[in-house]
């Protein structure tokens, strides 16, 4: 292939490969359809890759039949040299085809799989599926299964489709208003045990929940039920979820944290303990930041702090993360220690802080390049319990302690 000189105008400016389905944008530049559509759909509003002129994802792409025939003829002429033939592009998917599949009785598995194949094929098909109302149809299909308590074999395909063609943000509010069983149905899916590909199904269900939670009104968040949190904590406990699903589950919990009743339900479902268990496995930075953000909210109530301290590795985990992950993690960790220091501290906890190095870490943070408010918070913890810690080798003497205090105030 390297020895054959390919006409330059046969080459797509994006992929630098021979075009299979050349289309011309409104800027006059011709691209391979799949490449330019992927470019447009991966960038909500972008520019023409070549001219840099405005080019939105709704821009018309005109098939360049003449160029396609020239490319096909050239490929045929050079087939003996190893050049593959360029097939005639398939007719684009249209809304009528999609609606016909959606109207199949009981949404047959065959129809769902066909829709899934369409979605995976290219960005143009995703747009067509979206315009035909596939996301809403999939949500209602899952709700129907929930109402009948039927573990339909199409649930996996419906949830998978919702990853390809997501419910538009502007439609989430209306969907939830029209059907108050959407959250219940997705919670039900999380609780189903006898299902093939359980990890994939539950992960997809959590991803859909994340999108709904993030776009829902306050009234929806105020009506969440205990079983909602019980099912999420259950899949975290059992590990029946992908890494992508874990991230989504944590976002769901964090999104529900601003409401006091939700925090209480999370604590009652054992969320604090399970979050610590996940964090002890040293997950990636983003997961750690999410976990500590949730734990901070849950430790704002007495029961949350009690559950946190009941875990034998909680203080050690928190201590180890300070100055090791990110400023965001340091912030959450210090504020959690402050809450414990003020409202839930015992002699046993204070001794544990010495043993696992918490006191040393607080002293180290005073010397780190951190914001004054965070150093003040660390200093406040040290001062509050200096009577207990003052005889420890890791605790600074009075002169050092005083100089640090003056240095922080000068910041």
Predicted local distance difference test score (pLDDT) of residue 127: 87
pLDDT score at 402: 53
**What was the pLDDT predicted at 197?**
80
Which helix (DSSP H) or strand (DSSP E) does residue 334 occupy? helix 327-339
| Opening angle at CA 291, ends 288 and 292, nearest 5 | 85
Helices (H) and strands (E) in the chain, counts: 24, 5
The H or E element containing residue 273 is helix 271-279
Do the Cβ atoms of 168 and 130 come closer than 8 Å? yes
pTM of the entire structure? 0.82
Model pLDDT, residue 306: 97
Looking at the domain assignment, is residue 69 inside a domain? yes
Please give the structure tokens belonging to residue 38.
Answer: 């992927």
**Closest listed residue to residue 201, CA positions, set 159, 248, 152:** 159
In a domain, 331, yes or no: no
Q: Which two tokens stand for residue 407?
A: 């240095």
Torsion of CA 396, 401, 403, 409, to 10 degrees: 140
Residue 43 counted as domain residue: yes
Residues of the chain with pLDDT under 50: 1, 403-404, 407-408, 410-411
- Give the span between the Cα atoms of 141 and 160, in whole angstroms: 13
Q: Domain total for the chain?
A: 1
Q: What pLDDT does 407 receive? A: 47
What the block records as the tokens of 16 is 């630098």
DSSP state of 11: B
Q: Are 249 and 290 in contact (CB under 8 A)?
A: no
Sign (positive or negative) of CA dihedral 50, 53, 58, 59: negative
Task: Output the six-digit token pair for 392.
Answer: 């420890």
Asked whether residue 179 is assigned to any structural domain, the reply reads no
Residue 28 CB-density burial (10 A; 0-12 exposed, 13-18 middle, 19+ buried): exposed
d(CA 289, CA 351): 27
Q: Is the dihedral of CA 201, 203, 206, 207 positive or negative?
A: negative
Expressed as residue numbers, the domain containing 48 is: 8-81
Between CA 39 and CA 185, with CA 171 as vertex, the angle to 5 degrees is 110
Classify strands 62-63 and 54-56 as parallel, antiparallel or unpaired. unpaired
Separation of alpha carbons 275 and 295, rounded Å: 8
- N-to-C CA span, the chain: 65
Cα–Cα dist 381/154, whole Å: 55
- C-alpha distances out from residue 125 to 14, 38, 95, 115, 377, Å: 20, 11, 10, 9, 54
User: With 0-12 CB in 10 A as exposed, 13-18 as middle and 19+ as buried, what is 138?
Assistant: buried
Do the domain assignments include residue 90? no
How far apart, in whole angstroms, are the C-alpha atoms of residue 279 and residue 404? Answer: 32
pLDDT in the model for residue 258: 94
Q: Which pLDDT belongs to residue 12?
A: 95
Tokens of 201: 């199904």
Nearest CA to 223 out of 183, 193, 196 is that of: 183
Tell me what percent of the chain is helix, strand and coil, each rounded to the nearest 5. Answer: 65, 5, 30
**Helix ranges (DSSP H) in 78-133:** 95-102, 109-121, 123-131
Q: Residue 203: helix, strand or coil by DSSP?
A: helix
Q: Is 75 helix (H, G, I), strand (E, B) or coil?
A: helix
* Domain-embedded: residue 237: no
> Residue 75's domain is classified under what CATH number?
3.30.40.10
Do the domain assignments include residue 22? yes
Residue 263 CA to residue 274 CA, distance in Å, equals 14
- The answer as to whether 140 is a domain residue is no
Task: Tell me how far apart the alpha carbons of residues 328 and 299 are, in angstroms, rounded to a whole number.
Answer: 17
pLDDT of residue 361: 93
What is the rounded radius of gyration, in angstroms, for the C-alpha atoms of the chain?
29
């Amino acid at each position: 292939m390297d020895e054959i000189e390919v006409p330059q105008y046969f080459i797509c400016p994006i992929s630098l490969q021979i075009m299979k389905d050349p289309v011309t944008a409104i800027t006059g530049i011709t691209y391979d359809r799949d490449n330019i559509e992927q470019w447009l759909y991966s960038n909500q509003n972008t520019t023409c890759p070549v001219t840099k002129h405005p080019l939105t994802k709704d821009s018309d792409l005109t098939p360049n039949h003449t160029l396609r025939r020239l490319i096909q003829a050239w490929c045929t002429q050079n087939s003996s040299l190893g050049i593959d033939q360029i097939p005639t592009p398939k007719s684009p998917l249209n809304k009528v085809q999609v609606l016909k599949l959606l109207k199949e009785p009981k949404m047959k598995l065959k129809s769902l799989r066909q829709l899934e194949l369409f979605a995976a094929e290219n960005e143009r098909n995703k747009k067509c599926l979206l315009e035909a109302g596939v996301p809403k149809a999939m949500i209602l299909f899952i709700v129907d299964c929930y109402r009948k308590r039927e573990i339909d074999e199409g649930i996996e395909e419906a949830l998978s489709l919702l990853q390809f063609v997501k419910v538009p943000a502007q439609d989430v509010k209306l969907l939830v208003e029209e059907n108050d069983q959407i959250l219940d149905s997705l919670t039900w899916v999380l609780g189903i045990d006898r299902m093939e590909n359980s990890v994939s199904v539950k992960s997809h269900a959590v991803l859909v929940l994340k999108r709904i939670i993030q776009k829902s009104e306050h009234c929806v968040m105020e009506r969440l039920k205990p079983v909602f949190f019980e099912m999420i904590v259950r899949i975290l406990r059992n590990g029946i979820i992908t890494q992508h699903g874990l991230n989504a589950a944590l976002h769901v919990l964090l999104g529900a944290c601003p409401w006091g009743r939700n925090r209480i339900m999370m604590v009652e479902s054992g969320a604090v303990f399970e979050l610590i268990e996940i964090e002890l496995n040293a997950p990636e930075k983003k997961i750690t930041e999410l976990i500590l953000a949730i734990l901070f909210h849950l430790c704002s109530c007495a029961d949350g702090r009690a559950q946190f301290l009941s875990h034998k590795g909680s203080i050690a985990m928190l201590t180890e993360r300070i100055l090791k992950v990110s400023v965001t993690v340091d912030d959450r960790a210090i504020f959690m220690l402050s809450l414990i220091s003020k409202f839930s501290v015992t002699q046993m906890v204070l001794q544990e802080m010495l043993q696992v190095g918490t006191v040393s870490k607080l002293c180290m943070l005073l010397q780190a390049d951190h914001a004054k408010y965070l150093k003040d918070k660390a200093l406040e913890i040290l001062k509050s319990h200096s009577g207990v810690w003052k005889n420890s080798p890791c605790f600074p003497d009075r002169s050092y302690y005083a100089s640090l205090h003056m240095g922080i105030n000068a910041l």
